[in-house]
Structure 1
Amino acid sequence: MIYDELSFLHTYISLNHGLTAAMQILEAKQWKDEPLGFHPTDNARITCELVAYENSSQPGPYQVFEEKTRLYVVIEGEELMGISWREHARSLSFDGEGQATLIADPIGVIHAKSGHFALFMPGEPHTSGMESPGKKALVRKLIFTISD
């Protein structure tokens, strides 16, 4: 898992070459004004979804991807993202799309906010959408799923 300022995303391209395409998609539009939902990409290995929701006081289940990298870019608002041990995911059964869910307590929390990104590699359990204590907020973010 990597959490950093968006201006440093280019320094992580060597970890996954799909990040180059994700950066181009990110820079191509003013995402605050775009409609919610999936947006087309020129790369069959990458999906791009713009979502918006009010964060919650309770964490949801953790997502784990067997062979996919997930890039989250907060466009507006802020939220807490929970992370858990990779070892917790090793015994999971993945569905036909290589995804599984895990119920666990967070071992760490990221305070994700506008202008930052979180990058989760295959096998890294994570959840998002939690509010900072007493700070309900509308969150708008891009989710890139990169098939490895």
Structure 2
Amino acid sequence: MIYDTISNLEKYCPLVPQLKTVITSINKENFTAKDIGEYKTRSKNIRYSISHAQSPIKNSLFEMHKEETIVQIILEGKELLALTWREHAKGLPYDKDHDVVLLEGDPTAVIHAEKGHFIIFFPGEPFKEGLGENYTKAIFKLRD
């Protein structure tokens, strides 16, 4: 997991080369003017969504992706996210179509993400989002 300011996103391109496409999208598009929903990029392996929440999501499970790297960019507001160890969580069956395993577990750490920051979750890293605050964010899903 990486948490940093959006101005440093380019520094992580050697680690995640597909971030170049994410950066191009950020520079070309006005995400705050987009409707909530799913969007495609020029790359067939990169898609994104715009989401918004005004109150905590109740009873949410941790999610873990096996094949996709998830890049979340906070566009407005603040969001509280929780992390857990995958070894300490109980998983439900893997949903191959959506590349996600939902997990029950206790949080081991939290992130208080703010506007202008991004979070990268690598395959195998469980996280729970939408635990509080009021936010709008772009969520990129990168598949090799």
Equivalents in 1 of 2:57, 2:50: separation in Å? 22
Normalising by structure 1, we get a TM-score of 0.88
Equivalents in 2 of 1:102, 1:143: separation in Å? 20
Equivalents in 2 of 1:8, 1:141: separation in Å? 17
Superposed counterparts of 1:117-128, under 5 Å: 117-128=118-129
CA contact (8 A) 1:45 1:146 kept: yes
Structure 1 unmatched ranges of 5 or more: 132-136
Shift of 1:40: 2.4
Equivalents in 2 of 1:22, 1:110: separation in Å? 22
Shift of 1:17: 1.3
User: 1:144 is paired with a residue of what secondary structure?
Assistant: strand
Count of residues in Structure 1 that have an aligned counterpart in Structure 2 = 143
Equivalents in 1 of 2:117, 2:92: separation in Å? 30
User: 1:52 is paired with a residue of what secondary structure?
Assistant: strand
Shift of 1:32: 1.4
What amino acid does structure 2 have at the position aligned with 1:116? H
Q: Deviations over 1:41-77 (max 9, x none)?
A: 1000001101111131756111100011000000001
Partner of 1:81: 81
CA gap of 1:100–1:41, structure 2 versus 1, over 3 A, is same
Shift of 1:35: 1.5
CA gap of 1:41–1:57, structure 2 versus 1, over 3 A, is closer
Normalising by structure 2, we get a TM-score of 0.91
Shift of 1:31: 1.4
CA contact (8 A) 2:91 2:101 kept: no
User: 1:96 is paired with a residue of what secondary structure?
Assistant: coil
Partner of 2:6: 6
Q: Deviations over 1:105-130 (max 9, x none)?
A: 11000000100000000000001111
Percent identity, aligned pairs only, is 31
RMSD: 1.8
Does residue 106 (structure 1) correspond to residue 107 (structure 2)? The answer is: yes
Structure 2 unmatched ranges of 5 or more: none
